[in-house]
Amino acid sequence: MDIICFELKKIFNIKSIVLLVLINIIMYFLFIEFEVTHFPNGRPALDIYNMFVEMENTYGEFMDEEEFEDFKLKYEEAVKEADEYIQSRKDFKMAGINNYEDFANMDHENEELYELYSDVIFKKKIDVFWELPWREEYIRYYENKEELMLEPSSNEKQELRIKEILDKGLETSVFNDVIFSNYNEFIKSAAKTILLSVMFIITPIYLKDNKDKINYLQYTSKTGRKIFKKKIFAGVLASFILVTVQFICFFIMYSTNNTSMFFNCNINSIYNSIISWYDLTFIQYIALTVIGTYILAFVFTLIPMLVSSISKNYITAIGVQLPIALFSFTILLKYLIDYMTSIFRFPKYFTGLFYMILIFASTISMIIRWKREKRADILY
């Protein structure tokens, strides 16, 4: 136990921690900050977000037929509000626009009319005019929900799954793409930062000792070559601690996005951009991506360890891991974290299987390395 404690201290030495914090700050400002400070990002995202918060408040997690009637009423009210605004302005009357319907069907090619349009939309930014097209759109979605849901399916299994969702009525869930895609961007960048940090902190674990020739001392001690195993344990523990701390920090940042009211809403909504293999609520989806990141972090603890134990200098360790890191951050994360469990990405069990394969492959290669380490010659 003592050895593990010392190893942890070695991993979290003050120099590494300072660099780690700097790396995290830079990654935060380069990739994550935007998703946190610019949510909802401009308009109409803001209007859609407000609309869904209101819907969640009044209808709860799902919007049934009765509540849909109420939603339509709200639309009528909003139209009335827009009408009143239009009628209160003289320039609209001059241009022959008397109500919202005229406004919506306005000819944008006509410069004079377009001037009026951009005045309301872009200069004065009147809320109700931003909101109305989306209310209309979402009423249309709800009315045609079955067709719209079934439309993108390209094979039988996907179709079956969509029918299952329709049977359960999950598609009426009050949940929107504005929130979901923002979360996906956020978690992708967070995972990138986490994996990079883990790689950074784990890579020197064997290399440092081997370079300083401390391994010969370690071999002759009572613990002997078992130190290799203890280091694995210490490394995994260290990355677990690191990932947890990072997740806490990142989710504190994310909490400023104010999406907690949607935690219990199903993600398979007609207003959302994912159709999942599973009936997940938003909080379950978050949990799933967090677990996924933990698994990846585990794999990305073992890979640097392996590299660390076989490379002779730091340049080799960096050079080997650089392509791995670039590949994972640009391609792997896109498939394993982003839009996880979407039916259009992989067959149902593929994602789980892929994670399993990653865990097994990295564990087995580490076991092989340990077997070799036991018999390794110390002369080279």
Partner 1 sequence: MNVRMNEFKKVLSSPIILGLLILFIVFNSITIFKSSYFKDDLKVLNEVVAKFGYKIDDEMVNRLKEYYEEQINRLNEITEKRTAKRYSSVSEFYKDNFYNMEDVYSEEEKMFIRNLGIIENYYYEIGQVDELYSNIDIIAKGEYEIKKYGLSGKAADTVRNQYREFNERFHQLIRNGEHKNLFFMGKVYKMHSLLFKTIFKTIIFEIVILSVLITLYLINYEFDCNTEYIIYTTKRGRNLIIDKLCIAICSNLLVATIIIFTALSLYFTIFNYSGLWNVPISSYFNAEYSFPYMSWWNMSFKQYLFLSILVIYASMMLFTGIAFILARAIKNNYIGFFVFAIVFGLFLTVPNMIPRNTNLIFIGGFTPFFLIMNPNIWFMENEALVTFKYYELSTISIWTVLLLILSVLSVKRFKRQDI
Residue 315 touching partner 1 (CB under 8 A): yes
Amino acid residing at 153: S
The answer to whether the beta carbons of residues 165 and 275 sit under 8 Å apart is yes
Q: Which of residues 322-351 bind partner 1 (CB under 8 A)?
A: 322-323
Shortest distance, CB of residue 318 to partner 1, whole angstroms? Answer: 5
Among 5, 17, 19, 361, binds partner 1 (CB under 8 A): 19
30 interacts with partner 1 by CB under 8 A: yes
Tell me: does residue 291 bind partner 1 (CB under 8 A). Answer: no
Burial class (CB in 10 A: 0-12, 13-18, 19+), 211: middle
Residue 29 binds to partner 1 (criterion: CB under 8 A): yes
CB environment 356-378: b (16+ within 10 A), e (fewer) = eebeeebeeebeebeeebeeeee
Give φ, ψ of 271 to 5 degrees: -90, 0
Q: Is 216 in the site for partner 1 (CB under 8 A)?
A: no
CA angle 279, 280, 282 (to 5 degrees): 150
- Least distance in angstroms from the C-beta of 360 to partner 1: 26
Using the minimum distance from each CB to partner 1, give the nearer residue, 235 or 292.
235
**Min CB(16)–partner 1 separation in Å:** 9
- Give the range of 64-72, 256-264, 310-318, 353-361 binding partner 1 by CB under 8 A: 310-318
Could you tell me which residues are beta bridge partners of residue 276?
342
| Minimal distance, residue 193 CB to partner 1, in Å | 12
Question: How many whole angstroms separate alpha carbon 118 and alpha carbon 123?
Answer: 6
**Widest pairwise Cα distance in the chain:** 96
**Site size for partner 1 (CB under 8 A):** 23
74, 183, 260 from 67: Cα distances, Å = 10, 27, 22
Nearer to partner 1, 12 or 68 (CB): 12
Report if residue 204 touches partner 1, rule: CB under 8 A: yes
Binding site for partner 1 (CB under 8 A): 15, 19, 22-23, 26-27, 29-30, 200, 203-204, 207, 211, 313-320, 322-323
